[in-house]
Amino acid sequence: MSSDPTPAGKAADARDRPEPPRRPVTVPWVAAAPGRGERLVMLTAYDYPQARLVEAAGADIVLVGDSLAMVVLGHDDTLSVTVDEMLHHVKAVRRGLSRALLVADMPYGSFHLGVEHAVAQALRFVKEGGAAAVKIEGDRPEVVAALTRAEIPVMAHLGLTPQSLHALGGYRVQGRGEEAAGELLAAAQRLEEAGAFSLVLECVPAELAAMATGALEIPTIGIGAGAACDGQVLVFHDLLGIEDRLAPKFVRRYAELGATAREALGRFADDVRSGAFPSDEESYHDPRPQEGWKRVYG
């Protein structure tokens, strides 16, 4: 498994970027990425236009993350979002995709009450939402195994798991120190053995992520986990500068759409108040002579 720390294509001209696969991305294709030496691109999306944008940009995997609780629904953390709310957004994203693999995040409470409950909730994301796989946070090999037996592919997630916010004592880097690193590596291996087809590593030391990537057959996808992972993911609103309440160290802003949108909306408000909008060219007119329309409209 490759541990090259240099992000593929970082300095390459757009014309030199590797072409994404043209046929639909499948779970086996993602699982085999390390053997091909191929870096995976994962992005979040929460509605139809976002799904179209991220797929057109070349994303291999599109995650409807429970981060929608914060960046779309305005909550302070991810704990409040429900299965029904997640499903609403998964369905919208499904309609915007034709090639990328759609993964649905299972929200807090949807897999904590036993494996039967977890399977029942995961089935909703596949049957109703059209997801190809689900994502599960934490060291829960029994849940991963049950879902795998039910033929529901599972993306695992270790490190900083936002649903464990209170148990972890906040949003903190995980896996620092020999004991914590050993526990994370052991958990990663348990999840792989249980049937997970990939593993998200969030906010862990780059050295630990490299060790996990080298130890596992399944691909690792990093978010704040260094460059040695087999793929990378960022939240749509973070990458584009739309969400400004949080500024994690690992986020690279490729645009400042929030600032651009505020400026454009402010210009509209100014034009309305000054009477500059709408102009004559932006208005409809009755082609009849003035005397004719005066008789009709008074």
Give residue limits of the domains in the chain. 14-255, 260-297
Q: What is the mean pLDDT of residues 175-200?
A: 97
Mean pLDDT of 247-251: 85
193 tagged catalytic? no
> Whole-angstrom Cα distance, residue 184 to residue 134?
21
pLDDT band at 245 (very low <50, low <70, confident <90, very high): confident
Kindly tell me if the per-residue pLDDT of 173 is higher than 50: yes
pLDDT tens-digit profile of 210-239?
999 999 999 999 999 999 999 999 999 999
pLDDT of residue 2: 42
pLDDT band for position 4 (cuts 50, 70, 90): very low
pLDDT of residue 198: 98
- Strand duo 40-44 + 133-137: pairing: unpaired
- Average pLDDT, integer, range 72-94: 95
- Assign domain 14-255 to its CATH superfamily: Phosphoenolpyruvate-binding domains (3.20.20.60)
pLDDT at 183: 96
Active-site hit among 128, 202, 217, 282:
202
SS (H, E, C) the chain: CCCCCCCCCCCCCHHHCCCCCCCCCCHHHHHCHHHHCCCEEEEECCCHHHHHHHHHCCCCEEEECCCHHHHCCCCCCCCCCCHHHHHHHHHHHHHCCCCCEEEEECCCCCCCCCHHHHHHHHHHHHHCCCCCEEEEECCCHHHHHHHHHCCCCEEEEEECCHHHHHHHCCCCCCCCCHHHHHHHHHHHHHHHHHCCCEEEEECCCHHHHHHHHHHCCCCEEEECCCCCCCEEEECHHHHCCCCCCCCCCCCCCCCCHHHHHHHHHHHHHHHHHHCCCCCHHHCCCCCCCHHHHHHHHC
The pLDDT tens digits of the residues spanning 7-32 come to 444 344 545 666 655 689 999 999 99
91-104: average pLDDT = 98
Answer whether 0.85 is exceeded by the pTM: yes
Average pLDDT, rounded, for the chain: 90
